[in-house]
Amino acid sequence: MTTDFEQVLVDNGVPTTEQAITAEFRTVLSESGSTIANNSDYSPFWRLISAIATKPVQSLVQLLIRNVMPQFFLKTVGESFIELWGDSYNCPRKQAQFLKGRVVFTRSNTAGAFNVPAGTVIYTDLINNTIYRVMTDVDAVFEDGEAGLIVSVTSETAATAYNLEPGYFSNCDLDGISVNNPDNWIDKVGADLEDIEDYRPRIRNAFNTLSHYHTDGVYKYLISSWVGVSEQNIWFQHDAPRGPGTANAYILFELNAPAQSYLETINRQISTEGYHGHGDDLIAYAMPETEHDLTATVYFSDTLLDEEKEAKKTVIYNAIYAAFRGNAAYQMTKTEPFSRFSFTNLGGELFDLVEGLEDVEFSLTSIVSELAIPRLSSLSVVEG
């Protein structure tokens, strides 16, 4: 349901159209006792006077409707003013953030020392026409006989898309050196500036903090204040899971966020700052996961070259992983708790994405999830 601000003004007697403003102008003239004999609509003099009186008023009224009145309501406030709403409820907007993490360099020839200088670039293969890069933070040295080296890295820009699963950052330009991002490689997630439609419900939840009784809204406000946690990705289990006075919060972390360190901090904050509402005992957990092995058999047009087919198989691989929350490079329908994930819908999105794809078959049927998020333990894209 949209708000018709123009109708609000009309209902309160404010003229909004040129005709209505002109009629109001004539009424004011008449009531003031002014008499203009040459007031024909065809009179240049009258048209000039009418335009001088009505056009500025109409512009101001339309400015009020389009740009001012929407800022009075959280539902309709725009980019220019929403952070003022957040400040009013001590709910600052989550800012863009660089990813911080660790990668592993390895070498087969372990003789002698080898320096990996600060600023060494590690990058992905092409993902949806983009190559993602991270850079080493410090100088690091392979000592004589040492085969592996763990080095801290920072993303090239501040963005959510860098929070990739293990194995994506696999390229560097050092001779004789290979690199990879391992499991649990992220220390601090990358993030975009919080989208206004994610920020809006967080401010709404902050309304609850004005009360002394803390319920879902306050817990969502607290938990979603962390970068990498969306207000929409928090579910509660209210039915005393650990006995009377207990409740659980399950958090679906965005991409490859360091869930365990986040959870420790969140639970410490809940317990030490005295947030209560469902009961005296609420614990936050990561959303449970179900693991699935998936094979996608794809059929391409015969007009494609082998090189083109291989490139399109890579696109399909990454797009499917995006649907299972492995990357943010493609806008795919994603897996959700308490939902049915449709491979028919996934196939349709792949047809829209990949030109020359004639058919795709999946080894799985629809995945029905409850309090769990479907993930891929393995994915193969093969040509039929």
Q: Where are the domains of the chain?
A: 5-72, 98-188, 196-286, 291-383
Say yes or no: domain 98-188 is CATH 3.40.225.
Answer: no
Higher per-residue confidence, 12 vs 379: 379
| Residue-wise pLDDT tens digits, 95-141 | 999 999 999 999 989 999 999 999 999 999 989 889 999 999 999 99
**Lowest mean pLDDT segment, chosen from 20-34, 67-81, 87-101, 243-257:** 20-34
Positive or negative: CA dihedral 358, 359, 360, 366: positive
Give pLDDT, residue 212.
47
**Residue 337: closest CA among 269, 249, 239:** 249
Q: What is the mean pLDDT of residues 1-26?
A: 77
CA dist., res. 39 & res. 55, Å (int): 17
This prediction's pTM = 0.71
Distances (CA, A) of 341 to 63, 71, 326, 331, 332: 45, 38, 15, 15, 12
Output the six-digit token pair for 280: 């005296």
Give pLDDT, residue 355.
93
| Residue-wise pLDDT tens digits, 114-127 | 999 999 999 999 89
Please report which confidence band the pLDDT of residue 211 belongs to, taking 50, 70 and 90 as the band edges: low
CA dist., res. 114 & res. 65, Å (int): 66
CA dist., res. 169 & res. 185, Å (int): 11
Higher per-residue confidence, 162 vs 266: 162
**Residue 251: closest CA among 218, 277, 288:** 288
Distance of CA 378 to the CA centre of its chain: 25
* Mean pLDDT, the chain, integer: 86
Distances (CA, A) of 28 to 36, 62, 151, 253, 262: 13, 21, 77, 62, 65
Give pLDDT, residue 220.
84
Higher per-residue confidence, 384 vs 274: 384
Asked if residue 255 has pLDDT above 80, the reply is no
